[in-house]
Every structure is written in structure tokens, then in C-alpha cells.
Chain A
Amino acid sequence: MNTTDTNLVETTEVSFNVESINEIIENIHRYLNKHKEYINSLNVFPVPDGDTGLNMVLTIQGAIVQMKNNGRTEKNSGEYLKDFAEQMLLNSRGCSGVILSLFAQGFTQITANKDFSKENIYRAIENGYRNAYEGTENPREGTMLTIMRALKEKYAQLMEKEDNPLVIIQQTIPYLKEVLSQTPEMLPVLKKAGVVDSGGAGFIILLEGINKELSQLVVNGISLPSLLRIGRTTRKLLKKRLSELRKSPFAPLILNIDFSRIQNSRLVEALQNARNLLGNIHLNHNNGKTINREKLIDDLQEIDASWNPEIKNKYCTEFVLESDAITSKDQLREKIAHYGDSLIIINSNNKYKVHIHTNKPNDLFDDVSKFGSLLFTKVDDMKKQHRNFLSEDVVEYERDKSVFCIVSGKGFAEILKNLGADDILCYGKNKPSVNQLVKGLNNLKAKNIIVASDDSDILMALKYAVSLCKSNVFIVESDNPISLVSMLMNISKDYDINTIFDEAMNSINNIPFCGIARSTRNVTTENGAPVNKNDYFTVYKKKIILANKNLQELVFDTVQQLSAEGSLITIYKGEDVKKENSLIEQLRNKFSDRDFEEYYGGQYKYSYYITFE
């Protein structure tokens, strides 16, 4: 801790210095962020979706951003921290984020009086714990709540000998780690998986803040998926006959495992036993210790199963409901509890922040909308997250949602990027492979992705890529770049992913347009007029409406025929007419009652796309 931190608690009344408080909070946030992957790797309860650390980080991050944006009206540090905790609540993510926010809310309710004496900090911890415990539906031992209670108890003991509350908190940490190490005994699912509670570990890391006490936890460990594979290989090996076992190339590998790189206590024990057993077999002697092979196989099976549980309620769903019709958390709980499990409701005035695991998020949103306004919604597919978590190439999510566009032309790529697409795959002449699409989707590092392409031929590959991708992906089934422009003109990324997707789907046909291309064979227009190979033709609403040997004449005819569709006519030039510069002026002269704009689209199939708005 730096001096500023200590100053925060050394005096009973703190002078209000937002900058130094923010610095402390940001340091802690950075520290937590540094350790988030470690916390994620422990996440097995209630669902092993590997995001406890991320959720805690995002919860604090959301509050930091909100506090920076808000006009400050607080009068002192106590009030400032209370507001910060309220923002944490409103920005909380996942179970861990909600419980942490509840603790912060309870804590800062007490310190709002700007009394940072050791006695008041004790009351704050006590209230924080009570608030978190009471706010959690079906509170369980062996979770972050246990660590919070341990903090309260140990703090009470230590405050008899020490006056500085910060020092007291620092002195509680070894004890809290001890309690953390006991969490597998309290929560069987942790024991089966061979880990301590991730939320509890995250809470201790938070308490340590910028202190480096837990830095030894960040070691060059073997990844969880690799560990589970080692466990499975070992299990298969142990099932073999003795003669086969002796010949197996995997046996020496297991005999040489570096256990210091394994952060899973139960797996370490099982693999150590396996090593002993295999060693005995290999060396053809018994060192006196009898190891039950069947039990070892069962243990390894159980560890594996604990990381792959049946996820009954697929969607981790969160929302903020503003309602005057609902008057208490219990009333809301009664109305929505049947939708799933892991329900947590917290409230501040007439706002209710809800976390629940359910299979019917949309029904739930429809239902609660009857009681007020939904200010925020979030739906994560935990099955996808779980699959990502246990895969070798884990995607570390950095964003909640992203928009991804796949287009042929460089000009359109630039236009779409400027209109708000988070990333573009510009494929030029050759359609993208499934592999390229998966890579593009995973590169976004977003939990939820809206994806749209400019060609219906890409759709099949895209659907396959989506099945391989680690994120929740919503495909907007578009087949031209104008739809993508229209989509980006109409969506707002401030909304939740389902709303954005609905908006995207509703907007792709908003802009009337036609395409002008060169015919590769003899065809006819919708009226039966011939279109010879190499003639230019105009496609409007998927029908060939006009054709001409001369491209410029065809553009004029097309504008003439369709200009009633809009007063602003925009020409997007394809790659083959990139250098053409006189058309726009001629159009302006010929159709003086219309506005014209011209952009480089860079598409390959069509010489021009023309829109009418």
C-alpha cells in the first residue's frame, strides 16, 4: 500500500480528495485485473463458465467509468465511496460481481459518515457482510460470503491489539487464505474439482489491493484444459492391462510431471498417486504403499465430471428494472423465482438489479417489463462460455458485445468501420474460409457478437464458423453491403444484444437500392428483353429491370426509373469503375432536382450500387 492508502484510514476523518481515492480504486482495479485469469481458472461454482475474475473486474470498471462521467455532487469521501458502491451495484456482472457490490454497498453505507476509525470500519465490514448475505438467494458456505464473514471475525480479534484499520485488514489476510484453503471442505463441488472458491480468492486479492502478497499465485501453471486432458489420459492408462501399461509411451510422461506447475490440489494428489502406482509397475516392485487403482480411476473421473456438469439453466441473465409497481425484493422474487436458479436481487430506491440463470431470458424480460422499465439487460450463454473455458485456445473476453461485418470492398469496409462496426473482414475477390471467419469472430474477444455479411454465399460457412466460435453469435442474414450500411445507421450499441439484433434485423431493408453489373451469360429482363453476355444490367429487388451495352446510359436510365424512391441518390463505385470521375457531375446536371453523393465501395461483383433515400 502506498502512503495515500494509509492516510485513508489513519485519521478518523478524511479530507475529500477524489483524485487520491480514484487512484487507490484504480490501483486495486489494475491489481485485480492482473489476477483475473487466476480467479477465472478457479471458477467452478455455481457454473464453471470461467468468468468470476472478469465479472469482478468489470463490476469495478463500470463503476469507475460511471463516476468519471457523472457530475460530482458528493460532499465528502464517505459519500463518494457510497456513490461508487451504488454504481458497482448498477454495473455489477455475474454472481461474484453482485455479491462484491452488495458488500461494498453495505460497507459504504456505514462509512458514508466519513468516519474511518477502526471501530467504524468494523461496523462497515459487518454491515457489508450482512448486506451481501441477505441479498444472496440461497447463500452457501465455502463462497465469497464465507471469506467476508472470516474477515469480520478476524478483524474483531485483531482490533484489540492494533489501531490502524488498514494494518488490521492486512493482518487478516493470512487467516483469510487459510479459510480459503478450507472452502473445498465446505462446498463439495470445489473439492471434486480440486480448487478453492474463485469469488473468495478474488475477494482476498481485492483486499490485498496493490500489495503483492498474492503475486506468487501467478506462476507459469499448466492450463486447466491441459490438466484435464492429462487427467483423462492418466485415467485411460490406468484402465489398461499391466503388460500394456508397461509399454505405454504416456507412462514416463506422467512419471515426470512437474507438480509445481499444477494449481489444482485434488489433481496433484491423484496424479501423485498415479505416479507412485505407475512407478511401482514400471520398476516392478511395491514400495509398501498400496494404491487402489479402481479408486484412483474413479477420482480422476470425478474431477473431470466436476468441470463438466450438466448446465440446467443455460443463460446467465441480468437486468435492471425500474419499477414503482414492485415494492420489495421479495415481491419481485416471488414473481420470477420460477424462471431458474442462482437468483440474486438487489435494490436501490425503485431500481432492482437482478441476476438469474434461466433458459427463458426473453420470456423473463417480457414478464418483468409489465411492472416497469427495463434499463439494462444482459444474457450470456453459459454453455458456450463453459466450452470456451475448457478449450485449449481460451478466448479472454474483453468486450460484452461487438458488431462484425464481412464485406468484399475496401471502400465499404472503411464506411462500415466509421459507422460503428467493431471489426471488418474484407475478403476482396475470394470468399472467406470457415477458418478465417472463426478467427475473425474470436479476435473480437466479445461475449456477444452481431455478424452480417454482404453475400448470401457466405452464409453457410458463417453458420458453421459460428458453431465453432466461442462467443454468442447472432447472424444477421443480409446479402448486400447496403443492408450493412442500413443496419449500422440504425443500431445503437448502448442497448442489450437482443435489442440490437432485433434492430439490426428490422433495419436491413430500410434503404431502397439497385446494383449494376455485367452479365456473364445471355439472360432476359423481367419484361423479357434480352440481356446479352457482357451487357450491363440493373438488379432491383432481386429482379433484372434494365439492361444496356453502355454502362453510363444504363446508370442514367436506372436513376430515371427509380429516382422517385428518394431525394438523395448515392452511388457506390465498384473496383472496376474506381477511376471513373465524370459520372456524378453528369447525373447532377441531368437530374438537378435530386441530391447526389458518390463514394468508393470497392465491391467486385457490381460496378455500382445506387441507393435512393
Chain B
Amino acid sequence: MSKKIFIIVGDNLGLSREQIDYEALEIVKFPVFVDGVEYRQSEEHNARWLISKYEKEKVVAKSSTLIHNEIAEIIERNHANYDVFIHVVMSSGLSAASFRVAENVRKQFENIVPVINVHTRQAINGVGSVLLGIIDLVKTQPDLSVEELSAACQQIVENTFSWFVFPDLNYLYKGGRIGKAQSLMGSVLHIIPVVGMMGNEKDGLVLPMGKGRTYRQVNDLIIEQIHAKMQEKSVTRIKRAITLSGYGDKNQDAYAALLEKIKMLPVDEIVEGQGGLVDAVYCGPGAYGVSILL
């Protein structure tokens, strides 16, 4: 029997609402604090706004976890009309608290409606990749049981891989999200670090993927690693690639060059994603990247 499924996701997903073709979905906004003042993503307060503040005013920004009551309220409001809720959650390796909040909400409703918390092991457009993969799934297989649905979501997670070029890792470091990528910091030689989040890595941490001295080198490195991942997973086509940019004007050429290279790959769909306010806190000026679903 077809299930009516409602999806919840945080707004660090690298996609706008218009880019997501699914009605029963709500995006919860992360609180962002800039010099102590709380903001949420809006027309006015977006990634470009924060990056510009970073560049001109040297502000201090940080984010907070999703608010329990805001997620609970969505489920409260909709549970009468839906059979299952799927909460697509950013990697607990980056924010253990976010996953805890999601789990607490699930427990709160465990006798009322099933809530599947999908631990994406991802951030930003990686979350977006998992989300769109899940939407494909629920559209094509709406009659899966909760257990089957949960297992299928896990498969999507394990087939999602993201690469990010962060010209300045200090933003990630200051936000406490650096993980194993710390090894890329502190070089005397100016290097451009490439970090990644690999869906087959249980920890969901930011990993050092390599480094280059020029943007052409790091773009080539990403493409090379995408090919290696396809080979490792024995696939000939990429189901979807979501690119990421929008953190100021810096590196637009490098991003465009990466996008061109991605277009040359055997990919079924390319979505040009955009950075949001909350991820700008950690990415800093000039960051860009790509996430793929195999």
C-alpha cells in the first residue's frame, strides 16, 4: 500500500526550495549568530551577505543546532495526514547535537507516527544529494515498509560522496568542524585544500582528500577521485551531481571550470546548488564543491 511520506530537512542542504520537486517537505532553518545577533536564512541574510561581512568587517559567526520544538511542531501539525516522516539530518560527525535533537524528536513521537532519522554523513549539497535521492525513492517505491524505507535510505547515504574546495580552512577549524582535515592546515607553502565527506565512511567526518597549488590542480584531483569512486563502486554513470558555490565572488572562475569538467562526466542530472547562510559560517569566501549520488 502506498505510504504518505513527509520529509524534513535542515537548510544547510545547498538547494533552494524551488529546486526540490516534492510537496510534502519542510526546510527547517538553522539559527546563525553573527557577532552575537541571531539570524535565519532570508532574502536579505544569505551566504553572500555573511561572506561580505567576513571580508569587510571581520565578524565572528557561529551556528546553533536545529530547535527541537520547531521540528516537533512540524510533525505535530502534519502527523494526522502522513504515514511516515523522514528527517534528513546532517552528519553527526559534524554536529552530534543535531542528530541527538532529531533522535529526541523521534522518541517523542514513537508511539504516534514512525520517524526515520537519516544520518546522511554529509553536509551542504551532500545533504541535498541524499535528500533528492530519497525523494526519487519515495516517488518510485511508495509502498516500502518503514524498515525497507530505512534500509533504502541508508543505501543512498552510502552512495553519496562530496568534495569541497575550502581556500581557507580556518572557518571550518574555528567552527570545530575540521575533523581529520586538520592535517591540511598550517602549511608554510600556500596550498589549496580539498576536503570531502564520503558516504561509505561511518564516522561522517570531514576528511582530507588532497591538496593542490592551483585551482586547476584541485579540480583535476576532484574529477580523478570521482572516477576512482565510480570504479570502486562499479558504476558507469552518476545519477546526480549537485555543485555548490555562492560564497562571494572569489573563485567563480575555478567553480565554472569545475562545472565544465563535471558536465564531461557520465552524469544523468546536474543541479547547480547554492550555499546558504548557515554553511557560509564554515565555508568562508571562495569555497565551492560538488556532491554526487552514484
Partner-B contacts on A (CB < 8 A): 69-72, 373, 414-415, 418-420, 485, 489-490, 492, 566-568, 570, 597, 599, 613
Contact = CB atoms under 8 A, between A and B. Distances in A.
B202 A70 contact: yes
Contacts of B183: 420
Given A69-B203, A373-B232, A613-B217, A418 B189 contact: yes
B284 interface: no
A71 B92 contact: yes
Interface centre among B93, B187, B232 (most CB of A within 10 A): B187
Given A70-B203, A420-B183, A568 B232 contact: no
Interface stretch (B19-27, B138-146, B205-213, B257-265): B205-213
A613 B93 CA distance: 35
A373 B208 CA distance: 20
In this complex, the member of B92, B187, B189, B208 whose beta carbon has the largest number of chain A beta carbons within 10 angstroms is: B189
A490 B213 CA distance: 11
19 contacts: A69-B93, A70-B202, A71-B204, A415-B187, A415-B189, A418-B187, A418-B188, A418-B189, A420-B183, A485-B189, A489-B211, A492-B208, A492-B210, A567-B214, A568-B213, A570-B213, A597-B190, A599-B189, A613-B217
A320 to B, nearest CB: 13
Contacts of A71: 92-93, 96, 99, 119, 203-204
Given A69-B93, A71-B96, A489-B213, 4 more contacts: A71-B99, A71-B203, A419-B187, A566-B214
Contacts of A489: 191, 210-213
Nearest to A414: B188
B186 interface: yes
Contacts of A69: 93, 203, 205
A579 B159 CA distance: 53
A419 B183 CA distance: 8
Contacts of A570: 213
Q: How large is the interface on B (under 10, 10 to 19, 20 to 34, 35 or more residues)?
A: 20 to 34
Given A418-B189, A485-B189, A489-B191, A568 B214 contact: yes
Nearest to B187: A418
B259 to A, nearest CB: 19
A419 B212 CA distance: 11
Interface of B: 92-93, 96, 99, 119, 183, 186-191, 202-205, 208, 210-214, 216-217, 232
A451 B173 CA distance: 31
Contacts of A414: 188
Contacts of B119: 71
B102 to A, nearest CB: 12
A535 B96 CA distance: 64
Contacts of A420: 183
A255 to B, nearest CB: 58
A69 B189 CA distance: 29
A419 B189 CA distance: 8
Nearest to B95: A71
Contacts of B186: 418
Contacts of A415: 187-189
A566 B188 CA distance: 21
A414 B188 CA distance: 7
Contacts of B208: 492
A269 to B, nearest CB: 53
Contacts of B211: 489
A433 B102 CA distance: 61
A613 B191 CA distance: 12
Contacts of B210: 489-490, 492
A597 B191 CA distance: 11
B98 to A, nearest CB: 10
Contacts of B232: 373
Contacts of B99: 71
B211 to A, nearest CB: 6
A599 B213 CA distance: 14
A593 to B, nearest CB: 14
A613 B188 contact: no
A492 B93 CA distance: 21
A452 to B, nearest CB: 17
Contacts of B202: 70
Nearest to A568: B214
B248 to A, nearest CB: 19
Counting chain A CB atoms within 10 Å of each CB, the highest count among B186, B203, B213, B217 belongs to: B213
Contacts of A373: 232
A405 to B, nearest CB: 14
Contacts of A568: 213-214
Nearest to B183: A420
A414 B216 CA distance: 26
Contacts of A613: 213-214, 217
A121 to B, nearest CB: 29
Contacts of B96: 71-72
Nearest to B96: A71
Contacts of A492: 208, 210
Nearest to B179: A69
B82 to A, nearest CB: 25
A135 B210 CA distance: 38
Contacts of A490: 210
A502 B287 CA distance: 31
A418 B99 CA distance: 35
A105 B33 CA distance: 45
Contacts of A485: 189
A568 B188 CA distance: 16
A500 to B, nearest CB: 13
B188 A599 contact: yes
A72 B216 CA distance: 39
A419 B213 CA distance: 12
A344 to B, nearest CB: 24
Contacts of B191: 419, 489
A568 B208 CA distance: 23
A70 B190 CA distance: 31
A70 B121 CA distance: 11
A39 B76 CA distance: 60
A418 B214 CA distance: 18
Nearest to B103: A73
A74 B96 CA distance: 13
A485 B187 CA distance: 12
Nearest to A373: B232
Nearest to B209: A492
Contacts of A418: 186-189
Contacts of B187: 415, 418-419
**Closest A-B pairs by Cβ, 6 of them:** A71-B92, A418-B187, A418-B188, A613-B213, A568-B214, A415-B188
A562 B32 CA distance: 49
Contacts of B203: 69-71
A583 B255 CA distance: 32
A597 B119 CA distance: 43
Nearest to A570: B213
Contacts of A567: 214, 216
A562 to B, nearest CB: 16
A590 to B, nearest CB: 20
Nearest to A566: B214
A72 B93 CA distance: 10
A485 B183 CA distance: 16
Contacts of B93: 69, 71
A45 to B, nearest CB: 35
